[in-house]
Structure 1
Amino acid sequence: MTLSSNITPNSTHGHPSIPATPARVVVVDDHPLFRRGVVQLLNDSEHFSVAADLEHGGDLLATLEQHQPHLVLLDLNMPEISGLDLLRQIRQQELDIKVVVITASEHDSDLFEALSSGANGYLMKDTAPDDMLAQLDGVLSGEVALNNHSVTLLAQAFRQPGLSDHSASHPLAESEPSLPGGIDLTARERQTLTLIAQGLNNKLIARELGISDGTVKVYVKSLLRKLNLHSRLELAAWVHQHPDAVSLSL
């Protein structure tokens, strides 16, 4: 399944234009057999061409500078440097590259950590070849690639207990929850963040809070800036990791 409807993927640093096929890809995975299989799958496709494949990520940034790929596929667990650390390096460099984590890990903490770090997708290694190619095509078009298992984990996180019954007329809690150091959110931004974590789009958030769609967009942009995130999906993941920060009565 590819999420696209109400979720905007990594966009702070701009989207590269959809590349003329084949799109250049760099693959990083410490399992030789799996890595070779992915390389062959991509090279056999008309849409992708593997510019480099690496056993570990020590030289990844230099490789990215040399080949200027459109897409990087990262294994999550590698001995020298993890895929998450490599993902953070790419985002810290503000490189305009799509990054998809391909892993065997089904732990929800790994999923949310990857998404909150700026991944454009999180796919399992047992994904069917045709489905993987379709997912990666979607990522190049600006979508977020997720398997059904990952979608289920997100849906479970969105359905936070006690947050389903709310009304814009209810006052805020008198004592607002504390936020991580240096982050200052207004009451409306906290409300908006809570509703984003429940999977509501801007129109539904506006209806819940009794404000305009345009005002909701302003709050979303402010949240992305203040939390240093890139997408609604990352905002939802952030709430999952900091549930006490938005436990408001709406």
Structure 2
Amino acid sequence: MDAAMIRILLVDDQRLIRCALTMLLDVDSSFHVVGEAENGEDAVRQAEAMQPDVVLMDIHMPIMDGIEATRAICDRVPDAKVLVLTVDDDDRDLAKALKAGAAGYLLKNTPPDELAIAIQAVRKGYMHLGPGLGQKVIAKIIMPAAKPELDWSELTPREHEILKLIAQGSSNRAIAELLFITEKTVKNHITSILNRLNLQSRTQAAIYYLENANGTYS
């Protein structure tokens, strides 16, 4: 298999949707569907076993919903990027998904070419949202609980360094290799960063850093 091929796990409780997505993605040689799950619990198991690059995640499913599954996958398989694909454009679900660690949020009526672009983008570490869910909406929905201004003095030099790398889209593994520390140490630093800045996810941390650094890595 081509090393550049993006390995995808499909998660949706409707078999017809999973089949349609598989046929759609198989047309593009840069994608490979490695598995399908019909509920969040199964999705977490398969993500741990298959280590996919991207998880296409529905929200409303039996046994375990997509929000809880996203949170579990982001915690247990940190290199996997979760891209929510749902019929629901409710702001509360968007906020919950991003807080759980989702790297993107699209509706199921998204055109195939945009879906392909979104998968490529989140795999590279970028956030991708569907039309109408831009930066202003993100700030309005997920940032109210954060402190109004980021006080760099509350972070240690190493935490500041890790926060910058998170904002650049680096995975825990990449950060560990770059800084010559273990992934467990990276996770501990991220937990400390979130606690110090009153944030709930690495997605919030990345957005907050970019907003307060005016889009530059200082």
- Could you state the TM-score of these two structures normalised by the residue count of structure 2? 0.67
- Residues 192/94 of structure 1: CA separation in 2 closer, same or farther (3 Å cut): farther
One of 166, 191, 206 as aligned partner of 2:148: 191
Query: Which residue of 109, 120, 123 maps to 2:103?
Result: 120
Question: Alpha-carbon deviations, 1:94-124, whole Å to 9, x = none?
Answer: 5321111111111101101111110010011
Match of 2:6 in 1: 23
2:24 counterpart of 1:41: yes
Tell me which residue corresponds to 2:122: 139
Q: How many residues of Structure 1 are paired with residues of Structure 2 in the alignment? A: 173
CA deviation string 1:208-241 (max 9, x = no partner): xxx9xxx9x94994753533521346766xxxxx
Query: Aligned to 2:114, what secondary structure does the other structure show?
Result: helix
Residue of 180, 203, 212 corresponding to 1:231: 203
Please list the CA deviations of residues 111-148 of structure 1 after superposition, one character each: whole Å capped at 9, or x if unmatched. 01111110010011000011110111111111111011
Larger Rg: 1
Distance change (3 Å), C-alpha of 1:55 and 1:96: same
8 Å CA contact 1:35–1:53 kept in 2: the answer is yes
Q: Which has the higher helix share?
A: 2
Q: 2:94 aligned to 106, 111, 132, which one?
A: 111
Q: State the structure with bigger RCO (CA 8 A, min sep 6), 1 or 2.
A: 1
Q: Does the CA-based 8 Å contact 2:99-2:200 persist in structure 1?
A: no
Q: Is the 8 A contact 2:47 2:73 kept in 1?
A: no
TM superposition score normalised by structure 1: 0.59
Structure 2 regions of 5+ residues with no counterpart? 164-191, 209-218
